[in-house]
Amino acid sequence: MRLPNGDLSTCHPLNNSVTGSASSSSEDDGGSLEETYSPVTLVDNEGLLVPPLNFAMVDYGVFRSGFPDTANFAFLQTLGLRSIIYLCPEAYPEANVEFLNANGIRLFQFAIEGSKEPPMVNIPEETIREALKVVLDEKNHPLLIHCKRGKHRTGSLVGCLRKLQKWCLTSIFDEYQRYAAEKARVSDLRFMELFDISGFKQPPASCSHSKN
């Protein structure tokens, strides 16, 4: 996984434009690995390829989104995914399971309950740590992380990954809020701030999008 240079005091500007994001800003700060995907990004002979809600590139070989439905399957095929990390406790829909089986994609499910504040949401740290191990293992790339809307649970996991990449908290919170917008949760921000990365090894320097 290619990492930004710098230490915990280094901030990393982000691009604002992401598919389905609640943010409406068009300002481009530059310097981010996130790529912009319009609601319809590609056209082939069979029709339009539509990415899932809040789809974006997190890093080389790592993507994020809301819950994919059947309309997004053709787009997901273009990513050559090896794995999907699903952060909800509900059973994966049969149509999605069939899609994974047909395309040789492995499902990693980490059951994190979705709830609203108040009360404070209790994010299970050990579950996030196990999910991060999957993200950091290049054998699982290319990989898609998703929950329901691609906001809170997905944003919290990506935020913890950013700490490993030595992003400053300002940039981590900014990225989280670009997806959560007015639904940002103080408990998520607090969790990311306090998350202990000392037990993790430094992620690899680069990874590939394509299957071997």
Beta strands per DSSP E along the chain: 42-44, 47-49, 56-59, 62-65, 83-86, 106-109, 143-146
Cα–Cα separations (whole angstroms), residue 60 to 14, 143, 207: 15, 10, 6
* Beta-strand relationship, 62-65 and 56-59: antiparallel
The DSSP element (H or E) to which 194 belongs, if any, is helix 186-194
Please report how the helices 125-136 and 152-164 are oriented relative to each other, as an axis angle in degrees rounded to 10: 60
147 among known catalytic residues: yes
Partners of residue 65 on adjacent β-strands: 146
Rounded Cα distance, 77 and 63, in Å:
13
* Beta-strand relationship, 42-44 and 47-49: antiparallel
The active-site residue out of 88, 147, 160, 168 is 147
Active site residues: 147
